[in-house]
A and B are shown apart, each in its own frame.
Chain A
């Protein structure tokens, strides 16, 4: 059962990165769209993510619940040493979720919209940035449980160039996923071309920030290159991701939306796979080669069993409904998709 739980944990993280990521990315795209096109972008985006955003965001909660029920030591260590970035991320989640809803349900359209929009786009940027920082910190080996003063224990653990570049990389990935997703949602040609251009820009940003991750890893003496290229599974995943990237650029010009989405999803999956496969089962690296392992630091057996059962049982209910939700709102009929009386 432990492995079932671990697979769910990994899948929840991946799905949050893919679906939640595309969701954040939509805000990032809006941030980097020139003011005259923003309104159009916003409209396409709202129709695309409106019905599913609550569900997307559940993957994060599932991840947290799996951690605290199944791996309490990992959850509580992260909570203590990453308190500050977690709080910033939470602030981002609060700001984003509420601003997104407020701007569409406010009965009066006035200057408040400007405020909601601003909050929405900035928090769409900050939240994945800090998610990336947290993820980067988890593998950086800079958390020091023996630190006795404030700065080393609660600041230097997460504030370093490596984690920041992972944060930027995460932002770029989110933007990229969103752009690819929106290509298929665009209702007219100029919009479509604009999203294709955005997808290319975001892809370049992802490659550049990905490079930055390697450089900073080298400078901070984090053996990232060895992790990723040092084993066959990781290496093949990276090669597969790179090859699919070539294919993706080729297809971008031709606009096969479904294949594009699959490819983008595939790439992100491969990246997550490559970065986690090597040091599995250890997911949090601490200072001085200590680590927290999914196998050694899992909770009590009975708790894990019940958790696994709950997850399996839940999936039977959730997955069909979720697919039906996505399927229903994928069907093109823009006229009737009006979410509310205001439209």
Chain B
């Protein structure tokens, strides 16, 4: 592994790690707000216990999200100083605003976690909602910064100089909306299915069924609504990519030859040398239709792009297939669940539905990682699309390989500890929350 690959891997690792915690940080406060609301409205202590149990889990995730985010803001410079030298002032606007959002989030979190019984209950409830809203806003802002890397705007690039800078235009670049929308929904999909899955598993084991059933329902409803919306927003994203980054679209689809009436390629193994895809299912004309709304439209293939500007085709293609495959599967699960809720109440008591949810627990997060792989690897070799190459941005310091090993070790250990603690947290639900009335007084 050379230093350049190490730097890219370290960046990917850190972002891939952070995104899990930030999804949870963005979405869990909304779940908690719902159960907290039921507790205040119904006085049913199970809801209070759910809120508290979740909030303890979330505190663990928040701390990990906050430190991994702090690391990222240094890493941008540690690994890509040349990029930050030029890009910092241009795409910095969302980061400056994000500072405010984070701050509000951290303050509201202080109130929420430590404010039980200390404030007016509705003030306390609102602080929880504020945590969620500011988390969502900061997610949208940082994705807008990433959108700028895919679709640079708000400056003129003349003779290697960046002039006429307009940070506001840079923030509202062409990609920000489709990406921010898709990412926000993705966070709900991923967190919703993960949380629902864990509670489904506990119900299957017959532990604290009352507690877990209520928790399951809140998470499942959020996750399923988002799962229905996700393919729609994915379609917007795909059209957007076709327009601004034809090379990325071509790599996603392993679409080698420019032509009219292009089929949609599902699965398959791309063969970059022979410029073909083996063992794939081809749906005639569908890609043309998805991109342009016309079965005969022309879609640019990789042959229309100079070879030195090709992204890695195989990785991008596989990642895209994984994301879309999961998207379709979760859509199916969501539809089943809604049918169960509205038409076939009897299904809700069946084990197979719970088993299905337990089985898809990690899939949302896998789709998130795959989606980011599409976006980021599909942008290569550019760090700023069409302007700066990733290889020109990397730090001159040698030995990044070692730093990559260290970070890998740290993140792996952290992941293990977080999982271990969550496992204990869930195991303790029995002991802490078993007898509702009693636990309430004890833990006040």
Complexed CA–CA distance, A341 and B95 (Å): 35
With A79-B78, A102-B60 as given contacts, are A55 and B106 in contact (CB-CB < 8 Å)? yes
Complexed CA–CA distance, A58 and B106 (Å): 8
With A70-B89, A336-B117 as given contacts, are A325 and B110 in contact (CB-CB < 8 Å)? yes
Distance (Å) between the CB of A131 and the closest chain B CB?
Answer: 12
Q: At the interface with chain A, which of B69-77, B210-218, B295-303, B363-371? A: B69-77
Q: How large is the interface on A (under 10, 10 to 19, 20 to 34, 35 or more residues)?
A: 35 or more
Mostly helix, strand, loop or mixed at chain B's interface?
helix
Q: Do A313 and B100 touch (CB < 8 A)? A: yes
Q: Do B443 and A306 touch (CB < 8 A)? A: no
Distance (Å) between the CB of A246 and the closest chain B CB?
Answer: 36
Q: In the complex, what residue of chain B is closest to A89 when comparing beta carbons?
A: B74
Q: At the interface with chain A, which of B79-87, B232-240, B272-280? A: B79-87
Q: In the complex, what residue of chain A is closest to B414 when comparing beta carbons?
A: A98
On chain B, the number of residues with a Cβ less than 8 Å from chain A's Cβ atoms is 74
Complexed CA–CA distance, A321 and B131 (Å): 13
Complexed CA–CA distance, A79 and B109 (Å): 31
Q: Do A303 and B89 touch (CB < 8 A)? A: yes
Contact of B85 among A55, A73, A154 (CB under 8 A): A73
Q: Point out the residues of chain B lying under 8 angstroms from A106, CB to CB.
A: 421, 424
Distance (Å) between the CB of B18 and the closest chain A CB?
Answer: 12
Q: At the interface with chain A, which of B164-172, B262-270, B343-351, B352-360? A: B164-172
Q: Point out the residues of chain B lying under 8 angstroms from A339, CB to CB.
A: 113-114
For B78-117 the 0/1 string (1 means CB < 8 A from A) is: 1001101110111011011111101110111111011111
Q: In the complex, what residue of chain A is closest to B62 when comparing beta carbons?
A: A54
Q: Point out the residues of chain B lying under 8 angstroms from A34, CB to CB.
A: none
Q: Do B64 and A98 touch (CB < 8 A)? A: yes
Q: Point out the residues of chain B lying under 8 angstroms from A57, CB to CB.
A: 66, 70, 106
Q: At the interface with chain A, which of B196-204, B334-342, B394-402? A: B394-402
A212 proximal to B (CB < 8 A): no
Q: Do A105 and B60 touch (CB < 8 A)? A: yes
Q: At the interface with chain B, which of A60-68, A248-256, A262-270? A: A60-68
Contact of A154 among B56, B397, B432 (CB under 8 A): B397
Complexed CA–CA distance, A154 and B84 (Å): 19
Q: Point out the residues of chain B lying under 8 angstroms from A333, CB to CB.
A: 118
Q: Do B100 and A310 touch (CB < 8 A)? A: yes
The 6 closest A-B pairs by CB, nearest first: A69-B92, A79-B77, A314-B100, A303-B89, A101-B63, A299-B89
A and B contact pairs by CB, cutoff 8 A, 13 listed: A65-B95, A68-B88, A90-B70, A94-B71, A153-B397, A299-B88, A303-B90, A306-B167, A328-B119, A340-B56, A341-B443, A342-B432, A342-B443
